[in-house]
Amino acid sequence: MAANGLRLDVDETRFDPGVERTLTYHIRDGDGSAVADFEETHGESSHLILVRRDLTRFQHLHPELAPDGTWSQRITLPDPGVYRAFVDVRVDGRSTTLGVDLFVPGTVDVDSIPDSTREAAADAYAVSLAAGEIAAGEEIVLEFEARRGGEAASRLDPYLGALGHLVALRDGDLAYLHVHPEATDPESGLVRFATTFPTAGRYRLFLQVKPEGRLITVPFDVRVEGGS
């Protein structure tokens, strides 16, 4: 909840399942004052990521900032469980990710997820991941291809100023990576991300791309082996 001299202060952490409500919070400095001056990253002053702790129910939102430093966002947490809220901001030239748990009461049906996947689908699109063995502490390029009807998507449109957006979460403690893509030809149907996974374990990747103007979100699972 605190890093780089900033602290996340959420007004409410309990929500009813399936009920839309407003999540409000402040980013406070070391003196406890609400910060009201934020720099944009990828066209937004803040990125709010919501994901249930079983690595499902992913949402990527962009809250509104009031002049007094109050952030607000209408959210719906669809099912019971514990959700992690990640807030990405940039203050005084430094990017910071802060997090807090949100609680939704009720009986939790935990979704099982595979150990490793290289194919996913959303709407009319199939997306594949090309990556070899992944070792902790070593940079790797993750290449995704979006296809429709067996052919590469005719184009990838920009999303948040780039051709894709990738969030990686480690199973267990939800260690968080927010990755931005390398430059690729938008008509190739390909988007590449260079990243380094810090430790071994299983990670779930949430890819967001916009093939032919349609925003889709697809999950992938990778196993990261111990580094050298």
Which residues constitute the domain of residue 218? 119-225
Residue 114 lies in a domain: no
**Other CB atoms closer than 10 Å to residue 116's CB: what's the count?**
11
- What is the rounded distance in angstroms from the CA atom of residue 40 to the CA atom of residue 29? 18
How many angstroms separate the Cα of 137 from the Cα of each of 79, 106, 140, 227?
35, 39, 9, 6
* Same domain flag for 9 and 85: yes
Q: Which of 51, 73, 104 is the last residue of a domain?
A: 104
Question: Residue 203: helix, strand or coil by DSSP?
Answer: strand
108-145 pLDDT, tens digit per residue, is: 988 788 888 999 999 899 999 998 889 999 999 999 99
For residue 228, is pLDDT > 60? no
For residue 183, is pLDDT > 90? no
**Other CB atoms closer than 10 Å to residue 93's CB: what's the count?**
6
**What local confidence, expressed as pLDDT, does residue 119 receive?**
95
Residue 139 lies in a domain: yes
Q: Count how many domains the chain has.
A: 2
**∠ at Cα 123 (143, 201), nearest 5°?**
40
| pTM reported for the whole predicted model | 0.91
Average pLDDT for 171-188: 87
* Same domain flag for 45 and 125: no
* Same domain flag for 207 and 129: yes
* Same domain flag for 221 and 130: yes
Model confidence band, residue 227 (pLDDT cutoffs 50, 70, 90): low
* Same domain flag for 26 and 96: yes
